[in-house]
Chains A and B, each alone.
Chain A
Amino acid sequence: MGIGKGKNRLKISDCGEAVDVDVTPMMNVLMILLPVLISMAVFTKVAMIQFSVPPNVGTHLNSDNGKPKLKMTVVIAKEFYAITYGEKILDSIVSNVNAETILSGRIASHKSSFDIQNEAVVAVKDNVDFQRMVRVMDICRENGFEKIGVSGAPENPDNGV
């Protein structure tokens, strides 16, 4: 299977030189196209995440007593994450490199036990970075909690969270 065999043989001009492709028109097109594309290029894609303050996350009421139904709450503190449901603490994870991966897995494993499976509340302590809050909101969305409410977490709650 050689380049120089049969009908597909590379044609060489009679004078013995390889035929040069005239690239000037292509260069002209590229020179016009490149400045246009550079001026329109998006180097950083911005996006947005919607959230509400907790009372607006949903209007689900318990038909028995008219009280709002419980939603999963993820508490973010500098040292740990906690998954709570009502007054119960379902899980707590110490902050480290893998904490967010573990948190995602724990949320997925507890999800089936929640009455409302598409709404979550993220409760954040005052000294937590905004980046961590956004990351936890992402984790909640990735696990199917489309509606997210953000609230402040009390600094010294009675239940220890």
Chain B
Amino acid sequence: MRRISNTVSINTTDAAKPQLTSLIDVLTVLLIFLIHSFSAEASDVNPAKSVILPESSSKTIPSDMASVAITTSDIQLNGMHIVTLKSVNALGPELEIDMLYKELAKIGMSGDKKEVMIQADKKTEFAVVKKVMYTCSKAGASEYTVLVINAE
């Protein structure tokens, strides 16, 4: 059995050193970027998948509350599918979304303010948002918030 020392010859007096300067440069830039994007005030709110939120200059940190998401295909309550957007559009001038009202009534509105957070895709037409707001209002909501992406 051959020994490694027989096959690999290393000059012990002048071993080749890897050039780490450029790697250190990259890591330092990465570190600065990550420290800059680090947020001490973490938010519990996670935007719904498949929703592209509108951009805004608002910096108010969202708090946890009942959340109605209007995606490009359906309406969700706290992440649970409630009704498709097609059937909401098919309601015509009628404002109340029955399925959403029933689910909102089931979970009830907690807290004094009875707030609802609306997470709507930025291309959603106001006609749909209006129906969601009307239904939430009928279920007892009095304050609304919209979730946005801070563009600054």
A97 close to B (CB within 8 Å):
no
B127's nearest neighbour on chain A, judged by CB, is A126
Which among A20, A51, A130, A141 is the interface contact of B54 at CB below 8 angstroms?
A130
A125 close to B (CB within 8 Å):
yes
A49 and B34 contacting across the interface, CB-CB below 8 Å: no
The total of interchain contacts (Cβ-Cβ below 8 angstroms) comes to 141
B122 and A46 contacting across the interface, CB-CB below 8 Å: no
How many angstroms from the CA of A160 to the CA of B15 in the assembled complex?
85
CB contacts (< 8 Å) of B30 on chain A: these are 34
How many angstroms from the CA of A96 to the CA of B17 in the assembled complex?
61
A74 close to B (CB within 8 Å):
no
A26's nearest neighbour on chain B, judged by CB, is B24
A45 close to B (CB within 8 Å):
yes
Which among A30, A130, A135 is the interface contact of B124 at CB below 8 angstroms?
A130
A40 close to B (CB within 8 Å):
yes
B56 close to A (CB within 8 Å):
yes
A127 and B127 contacting across the interface, CB-CB below 8 Å: yes
How many angstroms from the CA of A125 to the CA of B146 in the assembled complex?
18
- For A34-76 the 0/1 string (1 means CB < 8 A from B) is 1001101111111111111100100000000000000000000
B58 close to A (CB within 8 Å):
yes
A131 and B59 contacting across the interface, CB-CB below 8 Å: no
Q: How many residues of B contact A (CB 8 A)?
A: 51
Give the shortest distance, in Å, between A122 (CB) and chain B (any CB): 10
- For B91-112 the 0/1 string (1 means CB < 8 A from A) is 0000000000000000000000
Question: Could you list some 22 contacts between A and B, CB below 8 A?
Answer: A20-B17, A23-B24, A33-B31, A34-B31, A38-B34, A41-B34, A44-B149, A45-B39, A46-B47, A47-B59, A49-B58, A50-B143, A53-B133, A127-B125, A129-B122, A129-B124, A130-B146, A134-B55, A134-B146, A141-B58, A142-B57, A152-B126
- Which residues on B are within 8 Å of A, measured CB to CB? 17, 20-21, 23-24, 27-28, 30-31, 34-35, 37-39, 42-43, 45, 47, 53-63, 117, 120-127, 129-130, 133, 137, 142-150
